Structure 1
Amino acid sequence: MTHGTSADPCWTAQRDRLLLDATDALHDHHDIDTALWALLSAEFTPEQLLDLFMLCGWYHATSHTARATRLSPEPVAPRFHDVRPAASGRDPG
């Protein structure tokens, strides 16, 4: 399980927060709601949004393929469970 959101203080640029929100929405709901779409379309061009959606879809397809074929992770690649959140008193999930 990963932790954090676009509201975390490390994300200072609105564009970065919107990209995180969009990728989370696509991952969780396979869609962008009307409110998020309005924010995204005010910040990014249609071409940039298409690139974002296609990139998210490509990574999704790659993860399906890797998992279905039982592809082993690279031995030196970090794993999400190896990364621990900074001690903040919050439960990461």
Structure 2
Amino acid sequence: MSRIKALGEPYPAEVRATFDKIMGVGVPPLVLFSTIASSDRAWRKFTGGSLLDGSLLTLRQRELVIDRVCARTGCEYEWGVHVMAFAQAAGLSKEEVAGTLEHPLRPEHWKEEEAILLTAIDALHDRATLSDEEFLSLGKHFDDDQVLEILMLAGFYRTVSYIANGLALPLEQNAARFSEYQKGMTAKNLR
């Protein structure tokens, strides 16, 4: 049970239209969405961004950012939703998905560009900044618009993690679970 009551049906027409656009017509909204939609202002602010449009980062890059942010913040709710919904389409193997949970990161298990991307996410999580070296490394693989997108995406999903964790949202029924991917890992290897 969430700490804030989710918006129930019947949904206002504008909210239903947004749910249908995000989820598909007639598909029930995620608990995250119906909970945030319980506040008109919060819902408008939350849906105001458009970071999932696929115009600057590949699906794989985007999902690596989101999965790593959610893993590092311990947000099983959103991590599980994204693994369930996008990992296969993003070409992420089960081992790579498990790798998003590992800490410290093992860069040798990733392509150079992905290791740099994931290292940047770790730096943002740990220090809320990038060193000059980390920024220059990102710049070798991503242009300025993409770097801004990465920073905004990481920040947005940290916010999503705060919401999901802070409200103790129940895990979605079919979403992936940390435990499915943590076999053989110790607590030391996580977060």
Pair in the same fold by TM > 0.5:
yes
Residue number among 106, 128, 149 corresponding to 1:51 in the alignment: 149
Identical aligned pairs, as a percentage? Answer: 27
1:44-92 per-position Cα deviation (integer Å, ceiling 9, x unaligned)? 111000000000011000011112222111122122233135x6xx867
Equivalent residues in 2 for 1:20-59, closer than 5 Å: 20-59=118-157
TM-score by length of 2: 0.41
Aligned residue for 1:76?
A: 174
Structure 1: gaps spanning 5 or more residues:
none
In terms of fraction of residues, the more helix-rich structure is 2
Shift of 1:35: 1.2
Please state if 1:66 is matched with 2:146.
no
Instruction: Name the aligned partner's letter for residue 40 of structure 1.
Output: L
Q: Flag the structure with more relative contact order, 1 or 2, with Cα contacts below 8 A and sequence separation at least 6.
A: 1
Cα distance change on mapping 1:38 and 1:46 into 2, 3 Å: same
Structure 2, unpaired ranges of 5+: 1-73, 75-100
Q: How many residue pairs were aligned?
A: 88
Matched AA of 2:175: A
Which structure: larger Rg? Answer: 2
